[in-house]
Structure 1
Amino acid sequence: MAPIRQVQVTFDCASPSRVAYFWCEVLGYVVPPPPEGFATWDAYDLSLPPEKRDAGFACQDPSGVGPRLYFQRVPEGKIVKNRLHLDVRVGTGLVGEERLAALEAECARLIPLGAVRGELLLADEENESCLVMQDVEGNEFCLD
């Protein structure tokens, strides 16, 4: 059996391109080049039948280290808490007030992009502090 070398994380959403561009900004990811024969993704999208437009969109780590993120349009809206979420590691190695300051600074950067601040979970005996947030479609993620 061949070892698995890459992972793609797939999000169900209403507007794949909107959510993908949000995550590009959060993670410093980029949108891959459009298909051959198209100068832009918008041009490609306009070539599709209306029901196929903005049905899927991807972004990727420009260094190739992080997982590719794929966003697929689904008919149903988000109803319950995610069973899986991303932790955006902005406070790695930091503790106490220094960690809280890093979390708050990243939160302040993401809110103008459409993120929503959630609960601040303070450090305890087992875990360091983290900040729960939501992306532009309400998917939970943590600033960790």
Structure 2
Amino acid sequence: MTEEDFNTCEKAALAVFEHGQKLALEHGLILVDTKYEMGKDISDGTILMIDEMHTPDSSRYWLASSYEERISQGKEPENIDKEFLRLWFTGKCDPYKDEVIPDAPKELVTELSRKYISLYEMITGKDFQFEEDLGEESIADSILNSKD
């Protein structure tokens, strides 16, 4: 990566993060941190932001309404992210070294789903709509139909 490419990436990342923080705060959230993935278009050298952006998989969010009070009491901020699940896994195994990783308990998976749905609803202002059929065939159909 050249210094010029780095500067382009840095400027873009900071601008997008600032915009994300502003939007999050408008919806009662603090965008704490995130990661961005960037690449270079080989046809013309343009730097591109790729993959997900500001999802709970790549970002941490705290509730703005309780932040000051919890910090003043020496408590962790209320969060809406997958950190609790990550901590469960690191307490049970080393996900980067162990060949076999345990399945997360159903209640933790359910809690993760609740957090993601809550975050979606807070940011979009819309109720999350559950699909009737979430089977593999439905997923495959969605992927195939998205190419049209």
Structures share fold, TM-score greater than 0.5: no
TM-score range, shorter chain: under 0.3
Normalised by the size of structure 1, how large is the TM-score?
Answer: 0.28
By percentage of residues, which structure has more helix? 2
Higher strand share: 1
Q: TM-score, normalised to structure 2's length?
A: 0.27
